[in-house]
């Protein structure tokens, strides 16, 4: 319900205020976090203000989400998450705007090039098959912990040249980083990642290898070595980005296919349709809830956005906008291209790891459906998902056989 509160920023029209809206308090009754966001959209103005989490605007329509993602002159990524100050330390390239953004992005781009991603496909397939072997004879699994986290995290640690056993240290930090509401908790998680990576950086300085971490440590920006604080932030960003997003998306994919046998059987019978199906599944199951900070006062569509106002941009709502997509909550593997989506961002800050993510999703669908073509939500269980800096699948019990 829209309303006002004493702390509402002066001059915001009452009709645009939902003083109590709190992204972190949204409940997800059956694991479909994205449909919860459509309910927020359908019960609020396209642009509205909340007093929670430091006070911020919320964009809920595709045109506005895309505008915030592309217009870095007004909507800066200097603060890219709610609440303000969430990251705690500089994390280029994500919190640096063009033109300087491109210099930092160029450091990471080689790690996610088509050639680099193709070279990782064999190990990705091997990791997944090993994980499936561990659960297939049991006839059930807790998909998030036994599959969804294992695949991207193992692949990512191999890319970075980090010990695989360190996943048990990094996973709790990743969860805290994306799901905790309080600044003290999110900043503590990022600080934990920094403490973890400091020694690894020193090792690479002394003995560089062919891994991504060595490449970043020995890279230069504008002809100069990367400043220590920026280097730590970049490495922490790589850890944070590599540990949660794909795992959550795989969880939403698996939930959907468990509940929709027609779609599942289609892909089992026609595996060549998997690449196109991934586009549609990504559109329906976006996970990142990013933010922007206003660089100056800006009258946007009749709404006065003040300098330093924060704007929440729930990326998943772009692909779920009925003005962009016919019957957006329906998954249609024959939906004609182009398929609108902002799940991985748009504009200069579009996620550089999208090719790696798509490869991991492709391998998952190919191998899982080949080995376990029929599966369902385990009887007596309910998928558990949460909403925070990401829409995250927390628990998903599947059974088969």
pLDDT tens string for the chain (401 positions)? 344 444 678 789 999 999 999 999 999 999 999 999 999 999 999 999 999 999 999 999 999 999 999 999 999 999 999 999 887 788 899 999 999 999 999 999 999 999 999 999 999 999 999 999 999 999 999 999 999 999 988 998 999 999 999 988 888 888 788 888 888 888 888 888 889 999 999 999 999 999 999 999 999 999 999 999 999 989 888 887 767 789 999 999 999 999 999 999 999 999 999 999 999 999 999 999 999 999 999 999 999 999 999 999 999 999 999 999 999 999 999 999 999 999 999 999 999 999 999 999 999 999 999 999 999 999 999 999 999 999 999 999 999 99
Residue-by-residue DSSP string for 21-77 = --GGG---TTS-HHHHHHHHHHTS-SEEEE-STT-EEEE-SHHHHHHHHH-TTTEET
Buried b (16+ CB within 10 A) or exposed e, 357-377: bbbbbbbbbbbbbeebeebeb
Domain regions of the chain by residue span: 27-399
CA 192 to each of CA 122, 202, 244, 364: distance values in angstroms, whole numbers, following the listed order: 31, 17, 16, 30
CA 138 to chain centre: 31
Structure tokens given for 346? 């748009």
CA distance 33 to 48: 20
Is the alpha carbon torsion for 282, 285, 289, 295 positive or negative?
positive
CA of 313: how far to CAs of 14, 81, 256, in Å?
21, 9, 24
Which candidate, 246, 331, 318, 329, places its Cα nearest to that of 280? 331
Q: Collapsing DSSP states into helix, strand and coil, what is residue 332? A: coil
* 27-399 is classed CATH 1.10.630.10: yes
- Give me the phi and psi of 214, to 5 degrees please: -60, -40
d(CA 340, CA 197): 37
Distance CA 238, CA 197 (A): 11
Task: State the alpha helices, DSSP H only, in 270-341.
Answer: 274-284
Residue 226 falls in which region: left (phi positive, over 0), alpha (psi -120 to 50) or beta: beta
The pTM is what? 0.94
Residue in the structure block whose two tokens are 């996610």 = 112
Contact 118, 358 (CB under 8 A): no
User: What is the residue whose two structure tokens read 């070595």?
Assistant: 225
Query: Any bridge partners for residue 393, and if so which?
Result: 385
Closest CA to 365 of 284, 283, 279, 286: 279
- Say how far apart CA 186 and CA 173 lie, in whole Å: 9
d(CA 329, CA 287): 15
- 316, 286 Cβ separation under 8 angstroms: yes
Written as six digits, the tokens of 245 are 């997003």
Residues ≥6 apart with Cβ < 8 Å to 126: none
């Amino acid at each position: 319900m829209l309303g006002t509160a004493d702390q509402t920023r002066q001059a915001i029209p009452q009709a645009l205020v939902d003083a109590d809206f709190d992204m972190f308090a949204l409940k997800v009754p059956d694991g479909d976090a994205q449909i919860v966001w459509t309910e927020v959209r359908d019960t609020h103005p396209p642009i509205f203000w909340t007093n929670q989490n430091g006070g911020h605007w919320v964009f809920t329509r595709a045109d506005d989400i895309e505008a915030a993602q592309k217009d870095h002159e007004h909507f800066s990524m200097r603060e890219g998450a709610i609440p303000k100050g969430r990251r705690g330390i500089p994390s280029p390239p994500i919190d640096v705007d063009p033109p300087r953004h491109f210099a930092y992005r160029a450091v990471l781009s080689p790690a996610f090039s088509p050639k680099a991603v193709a070279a990782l496909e064999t190990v990705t397939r091997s990791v997944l098959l090993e994980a499936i072997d561990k659960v297939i004879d049991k006839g059930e699994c807790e998909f998030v912990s036994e599959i969804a986290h294992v695949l991207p995290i193992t692949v990512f640690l191999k890319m970075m040249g980090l010990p695989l056993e360190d996943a048990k240290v990094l996973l709790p930090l990743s969860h805290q980083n994306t799901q905790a509401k309080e600044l003290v908790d999110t900043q503590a998680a990022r600080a934990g990642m920094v403490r973890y990576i400091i020694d690894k950086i020193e090792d690479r300085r002394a003995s560089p290898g062919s891994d991504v971490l060595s490449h970043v440590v020995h890279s230069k920006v504008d002809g100069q070595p990367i400043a220590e604080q920026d280097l730590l932030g970049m490495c922490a960003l790589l850890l944070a980005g590599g540990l949660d997003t794909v795992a959550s998306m795989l969880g939403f994919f698996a939930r959907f296919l468990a509940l929709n046998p027609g779609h599942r059987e289609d892909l089992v019978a026609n595996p060549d349709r998997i690449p196109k199906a991934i586009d549609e599944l990504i559109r329906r199951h976006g996970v990142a809830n990013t933010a922007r900070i206003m660089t100056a006062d800006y009258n946007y569509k009749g709404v006065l956005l003040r300098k330093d106002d924060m704007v929440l941009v729930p990326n998943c709502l772009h692909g779920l906008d009925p003005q962009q997509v016919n019957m957006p909550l329906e998954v249609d593997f024959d939906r004609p291209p182009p398929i609108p989506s902002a799940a991985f961002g748009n504009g200069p800050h579009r996620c550089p790891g999208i090719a790696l993510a798509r490869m991991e999703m492709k391998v998952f669908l190919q191998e899982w459906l080949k080995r376990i073509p029929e599966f369902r939500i385990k009887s007596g269980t309910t998928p558990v998902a949460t909403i925070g800096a990401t829409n995250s699948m927390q628990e998903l019990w599947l059974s088969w056989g």
